[in-house]
Amino acid sequence: MAGPGDRYSQDVLTTDWRAPKLGRTVEVDVEPDMVLEDATTGFCGAVVAIERDLVVLEDRRGARRSYPYGPGFWLEGKPVAIRRPKAAPATGPARTASGSIAVRNSRARVARASRIYVEGRHDAELIEKVWGDDLRIEGVAVEYLEGVDDLAAVVAEFRPEPRRRLGVLVDHLVPGSKESRIAEEVTRGPYGAHVLVVGHPFVDIWAAVRPERVGLERWPDIPRQTSWKHGICAALGWPHDDQADIARAWKQILGTVRDFRDLEPALLGRVEHLIDFVTVDAD
């Protein structure tokens, strides 16, 4: 018969075993290299990243898993509830997620007439996460287009001018692509002097996130006949049956992005160029 100290003696189906129990579960601050075991799956790994909303563990084979803070872990054979450590006092100027020096006690600027357009919701959410503070200070709004097939008509409706500029970020802007032909048409059009179309080489904005953030060495090649997002989810072993699964997958990827250092340089330079273009005051 199991003794009172037997960690396996209680039937986990009869109670919420993740909830803290007085005298048993203790709260601990997560530390780098701390070895934790997930009580649900038995996955055991060392802490390799401490994020805002989750902690990343890596086992001895190099596999990584992310977990939210809270109960449900074993530390040195004892049940613990993990919590994010308090941030150390800043020793230098605070910076935004984009790397810019943060402007303290500053209100968001009244929105400029100029705009930045991106292809889709995921692009807009990623830019907001990394450049949101900068954009609010500059008074620049980001809107999404749901594709660029009708970009020429969108530009004509916007009617850019010297103090009303338009910047556009396009996915997969590589020589010979459909996107490159659309961009050329716009920049050669009647509003071209006040429109900047730039792009990154990635098939999808997901790939602008460094692959190691989701435990990959590189983003896998997906066959043309397969939806890229569905193919990536399949490669990661994530559900991908419907759009809700794809939305959850993106939230998980976006949640791993801490700041500009988690993005590929090919995207960073393009976004900075757009922000500069739409915030330059015309003569």
Q: Is the distance from CB of 34 to CB of 15 less than 8 angstroms?
A: no
Which residues 6+ apart lie within 8 Å of 153 measured at CB? none
- CATH match for 115-209+257-279 among 3.30.160, 1.10.287, 3.40.50, 1.10.1660: 3.40.50
Task: Write down the pLDDT at residue 230.
Answer: 94
Q: If you ran DSSP here, which 8-state letter would residue 143 be given?
A: E
Residue 197, CB-side half-sphere exposure with 13 Å CA sphere: 26
- Extract the residue ranges of the chain whose pLDDT is less than 70: 1-23, 87-95, 98-111, 281-283
Amino acid at site 273: H
pLDDT tens string 234-255: 999 999 999 999 999 999 999 9
pLDDT tens string 95-137: 677 666 665 555 555 668 899 999 889 999 999 999 988 888 8
Tokens at 250, concatenated = 């993106």
Amino acid at site 210: R
Q: Where are the domains of the chain?
A: 12-83, 115-209+257-279
pTM to 2 decimals? 0.64
